[in-house]
A = this chain, B = another copy of it.
Amino acid sequence: MEPEDFRKYGHELIDWIADYWEHIDDLPIVPDVAPGDIRAALPERAPEEPEPFSEIISDLDEIVVPGLTQWQSPGWFAFFPGNTSLPAVLGEAVTAALGQQGMMWSTSPVATELENVVVDWFVDLLGLPDGWKTTGRGGGVIQPSASDSTHTALVVARERAARRGPAIRMVAYTSEQAHSSVEKGANLAGFGRIALVPVDGSHAMRPEALRRMIVEDIEAGLIPAVVTSAVGTTGTAAVDPVRLIGELAREYEMWHHVDAAYAGSAMICPEFQKDQDGLELVDSYTFNPHKWLLVGVDCSMFYVADRAPLIDAMSIVPPYLRNEASESGEVIDYRDWHVALGRRFRALKVWFVLRSYGAEGIRAMIREHVRLANELAQRLEADDRFELVTPVSYALVCFRHVTGDEATDALAAVINQSGHSHLTASKLDDRSFIRVSIGQTQTEQRHVDRLWDLIDRAAAPAR
């Protein structure tokens, strides 16, 4: 493609994207496709000859959009948000065009230093300990997902505990309500035992249960190596007692990782920062700006209080990667901060978004989502057909129908068939409940009102 064609089709696609964003709410959130339908619309073999770019653009309308699950819809209340924004889209386009591979400072000084700067900015924005800045002993890095970040933490924890015995005897603790990535990461890292700690009535980890399990494991000849706390669990956005868990981690020489994948974004509003009290007793921390900070998938930030054990676990320097800047010790080489060697220039879109909205603009969005969640919860509580499963946490509303699973599941199904609203039906203590997670970029009062109207119309009577 010549630059002149790129100008022509690029302008067309920018307008196509703007049109798409203006009309997302008109599209059904769940596509009307069965497994194999999209594949059947595509040729069996790759094209041998070039095709006109105009055909590619028309296939966006014919094949791609009808096969999307509309994550960016204002009626998207499923899972946690994965919101993006138009400045992030422009940032991604520039990242792609610059074609940087920032494995080391020397292979892209700006990709490295801009990433240093934005992760340090978030230390202040989220109220993280000052020593976690790249200018201190610790530092942050952008990884693709919280699963990657948590897996990294678990590998480093394993290496730190290695002098105490083999991985097969090590235990990784987390709560019964932890995200599946903790268990997956611990499996991948080769831990011998993954211990799920019971939770209390608010679905937060019980520190005294953790202590009991640690003591029993030690008596059984096992090695308590790492505990992962959640600030905002996946099921109900419950908050584990970070400080108490941190004290146990210190007492038993365990690595302490915090998974704040969702709720970390809310910490940009100082009123939520009390939920992560005790961060000075934390070794690593991850949160996903790609969930609720307008930057788009993928962007997970991973922080360590001390970068030495991370780099010790990850660093291998063959001759073709040796260079003056790295050997000076004055730069950060992000190749040593995660599994991957090659890496995209992800910090650019974060920079675009922070500058386009300002921290105050992002706080306003989060506070509005939280307000909408509380308002919806009040409506549910005031109606005798519904009960909240937990108090609203951040912008997550968890409720069920008072008559039980059947009415709850049926209600979720009706809403998800509406086309305009989408939420997650899940289970807690073997009982069905509905998660309404409010956090998409274009979600406003009227979209939550529309959801409430549907809930109100579709729900079975209380008895």
Contacts and interface: CB of A to CB of B under 8 A. Distances in A.
Interface of A: 1-7, 9-11, 13-22, 31, 33, 35-39, 42, 45-51, 53, 55-56, 60, 63-64, 66-69, 71-72, 79, 82-101, 105-110, 113-114, 116-118, 121-122, 124-125, 144-148, 151, 155, 158, 166-168, 179-181, 183-185, 187-190, 234-235, 288, 290, 296-298, 313-314, 316-321, 325, 328, 330-331, 339-344, 348-349, 351-352, 354-361, 424, 426-427, 435
Given A68-B100, A110-B63, A339-B151, A314 B50 contact: no
Contacts of A340: 144-145, 147-148, 298
Contacts of A319: 426-427
B21 A116 contact: no
Contact of A11 (B11, B68, B348, B356): B11
Contacts of A64: 94, 98, 110, 114, 348
A319 B118 CA distance: 35
Most chain B CB within 10 A, of A42, A87, A109, A113, is at A109
Given A96-B88, A166-B168, A113 B343 contact: no
A99 B317 contact: no
B296 A96 contact: yes
A35 B328 contact: yes
Q: Shortest 10 CB-CB distances between A and B: which pairs?
A: A67-B110, A10-B14, A92-B96, A190-B190, A46-B121, A38-B113, A145-B340, A93-B93, A3-B18, A6-B86
B3 A7 contact: no
A231 to B, nearest CB: 18
